[in-house]
Amino acid sequence: MMRVNLPDTKSRLTIAMDGDDAGRKAGFTLAARAYSQGFEVFIMQAPKGADFNNVLLSQKREL
């Protein structure tokens, strides 16, 4: 997440973090950087040990 290019227009940023140590560290580092640049930051965290994408896929519903 360190290579994320934040847009010039400051707004809200929602960060979806994986539930492992590396995911939390990267997410909080990005959150601090974005906040210092004027973003309103929201964090969504996957359960401990889970990958956020897998959490989303497990909640997928058929239309």
**pLDDT tens, the chain, 63 aa long:** 668 888 888 899 999 999 999 999 999 999 999 999 999 999 999 989 888 888 888 887 654
In the chain, where the domains are located: 12-58
Rounded to two decimals, the pTM is: 0.78
Q: How many whole angstroms separate alpha carbon 11 and alpha carbon 13?
A: 7
